[in-house]
Amino acid sequence: MDATEKALVLKVGCFREADCWVRLFTPTRGIFNAFAFGGSRSRRRFVGCLDPLSLVLFSIGSDRRGAYSVLGEGSLLHNFPGIRADAAAAGLAANCVRFVEAVEIDPSDAAPVYHLLLNTLYLLDSGQGSPDFVPWFFRARLAFAMGYDPDFENCGTCGSPVSQGRGHLFVVEQGQVVCAACHSVGKPLDGLARSVSPGVLRALEWIRESDPGDWGRVVLDREVRRQVSQLVEMFVAYHLGLSWENGIYKKV
């Protein structure tokens, strides 16, 4: 029996003469492939629906043996014209999509990541979102959405607020902040730790709590931005096993 579901079209390819395979992302199934038989010729069932970066309401079923998914028909909901008209926005969107694909998201984690990606596309479609911020904001928020969720406001050892004072460390492996008092008198810290200022911690907490719709209005001091982006990249590399190198995401 077919089910109707909203899906983001990530990739489309053709096989045989008139058929297409479609890579989809839905909040319940995650990322998967489906076949649109007759899709390259259909004038009724898939009008405007088989372009990458399209939000479509699809009727999704399976073949008789249940071996693969089949698209019955689709209704285009949004095709992000602002992204298609802007090469920079298209590049940022592609970067975010490639990261989602590289993470290999389990269907149980799909819903928050799907909505994060969709809202990021809406941000880029509106003409907002700086190339300096969007890629690593997105990577950080995706990691947090998947459960790697640090507390940037309290010491992970003693629980005291770390909004005041200096000398705090962020321990990447543990995903926690350690205040100056604890790391000065306690046992040596295991793993990779970096000094963080209150300003950096406030920026990280803001990113953790933010939605993509907030990213178009953010302003960060240059040094805070540098430190925050470095910590985000280290955190993502350690916990998700991915780093951005030479235009691709690599396993680390």
pLDDT digits (tens, 9 = 90+) for 78-127: 999 999 999 999 999 999 999 999 998 899 899 999 999 999 999 999 99
Region 147-155: what's the mean pLDDT?
88
How many Å apart are CA 251 and CA 7, to the nearest integer? 27
Contact in structure between 18 and 40 (CB atoms under 8 Å) = yes
Confidence (pLDDT) at 87 = 94
pLDDT above 70 covers a percentage of the chain that reads 95
Of 85-99, 111-125, 153-167, 212-226, the least confident:
153-167
Residue 163 corresponds to which tokens in the numbers above? 């909004």
pLDDT exceeds cutoff 60 at 187: no
Average pLDDT, the chain: 88
**pLDDT of 198:** 87
* Rounded Cα gap, residues 116 and 118, in angstroms: 6
Q: How confident is the model at residue 54 (pLDDT cuts 50, 70, 90)?
A: very high
pTM over 0.85: yes
> Once rounded to an integer, what is the mean pLDDT over residues 192-205?
88
Q: Which domains does the chain carry? A: 3-79 (2.40.50.140)
Average pLDDT over residues 130-147: 89
Identify whether the C-beta of residue 54 lies closer than 8 Å to the C-beta of residue 47: no
What is the predicted pLDDT for the residue at 191? 63
For residue 100, give the H/E element and its range.
helix 87-103
| Contact by Cβ (8 Å): 28, 5 | yes
- pLDDT tens, residue by residue, 39-48: 777 667 888 8
